[in-house]
Structure 1
């Protein structure tokens, strides 16, 4: 008996998409990979995901990371857990509206904002770390870091933006701040179209701390690397949910 061509092509697509993720943003990249299989129709509504152990092996991440990604996508309405003999994790029969892409948002639009962000904010972090910051500037960074750590979900984007603007200000180039602010407006309009994932917020907080600590320590390379990883995490989620 020959295999169903649709099943064969689906298996091939699944193998191509569920490949090892990059180090540094394992959770965000795992979410992106799972969303790709959903949005490209590799897994159809009502079908089950591969077991956690298999996903962890194929993606090169821990089972805890897979479990957190699945839980986050279940909370966002993409997946449904079922118990019992025929239990497992299944794609929801009715998916959230943004599964099929945000109206008027293309991959090119997302990439333009993200690439500009990398140019501006990685450079800002590196420049801030190379300066001798005044006590008020150092206190401002600590204060903004504390604010975003303690942020409630409905105020997270605003306080996150304030921290990133404080980093731009610490770079000591006044012309940079309005450029970062304008691009943050573009990014936030995109981020507002995807769900806030608690694990991503926790990871972002860790990255924020690494960025600020590197700036205060005067380590430009570490500050730039930490900001670049932070930008990449946001990129993974935006591409996963929107393009």
Structure 2
């Protein structure tokens, strides 16, 4: 509580610093992931101190350019990770818990040792976007098209515990079908690194829903021969994963 008002400390004193971190999300399709990344950065940088209150929901939603429904999903993730708590009453709001860090943060730091995250994410994007474009441009027919449809169906039917494995198989299938064994080999290596990091962050239902919608749009573009659409969908899909990884890194 502050001596002058009896109110808990909030983010008001750090408005300028918050403005440098909290900004409208760049991709509407990844609004949840990008908003979560930014709020996690606020916590990691200490812009709101332990025991301090985050800006009100309306202000946060406006700063991030997202709906309050999406913002509440972001805050729910932070609560589930033990980073914040909601309090009711006259001086209620969302408060930062002292000494908290995302679950698995220690293991994530260990796995990050010696890994250049930005290099991994950019290389992954180049390979994935390239593979999607090649598959669409060259066309998939017969057994190749059926393999891709089956891989998509596998992600759609996967239980939560199996989702990341099935997701990996879908992406590997796309890389294998692009016609470049060298690309497929390099993608397998970079995907192994990405999976090692993803295993340290929680599976988020909203993110998985986004991923599935993007997977379906991607496969449709590839099978329709829409190379530009396939590349853009894959680029957005990679950006969502990148936002989550950047957000959870400490």
Tell me if TM exceeds 0.5.
yes
Structure-to-structure mapping, 1:2-151, within 5 angstroms: 10-23=14-27, 24-96=29-101, 102-103=109-110, 105=112, 109-151=116-158
Q: How far did residue 109 of structure 1 move?
A: 1.2
Q: Within 1, Cα distance between the matches of 2:149 and 2:210?
A: 18
Does structure 2 conserve the Cα–Cα contact (< 8 Å) formed by 1:129 and 1:219? yes
Q: How far did residue 113 of structure 1 move?
A: 0.9
TM-score by length of 2: 0.88
Gaps of 5+ in 1: 1-6
Q: Within 2, Cα distance between the matches of 1:107 and 1:93?
A: 29
SS at match of 2:86: strand
Q: How far did residue 103 of structure 1 move?
A: 3.0
Q: How far did residue 86 of structure 1 move?
A: 3.0
Q: How far did residue 99 of structure 1 move?
A: 5.4
2:165 aligned residue (155, 158, 161): 158
Question: Which 4+ stretches in 1 moved above 4 angstroms?
Answer: 97-101
Q: In the alignment, which residue of structure 1 is the partner of 2:227?
A: 220
Q: How far did residue 104 of structure 1 move?
A: 5.6
Q: Residues 11-48 of structure 1, C-alpha deviation per residue, up to 9 Å, x if partnerless? A: 22112111111123111110011000000001122222
Q: Within 1, Cα distance between the matches of 2:110 and 2:248?
A: 12
Q: In the alignment, which residue of structure 2 is the partner of 1:3?
A: none
Q: How many residue pairs end up in the alignment?
A: 238
2:207 aligned residue (200, 207, 219): 200
Does structure 1 conserve the Cα–Cα contact (< 8 Å) formed by 2:152 and 2:215? yes
Rate the CA distance shift 1:8–1:89 in 2: closer, same or farther, 3 A: closer
Does structure 2 conserve the Cα–Cα contact (< 8 Å) formed by 1:17 and 1:37? yes
Q: How far did residue 108 of structure 1 move?
A: 6.5
Q: How far did residue 174 of structure 1 move?
A: 2.3
- Please say which of residues 214-223 and 67-76 is displaced more in the overlay: 67-76
Gaps of 5+ in 2: 1-10
Q: Within 1, Cα distance between the matches of 2:114 and 2:77?
A: 23
- Please say which of residues 7-16 and 213-222 is displaced more in the overlay: 7-16
CA RMSD of superposed structures (Å): 2.1
TM-score by length of 1: 0.90
Rate the CA distance shift 1:22–1:107 in 2: closer, same or farther, 3 A: farther
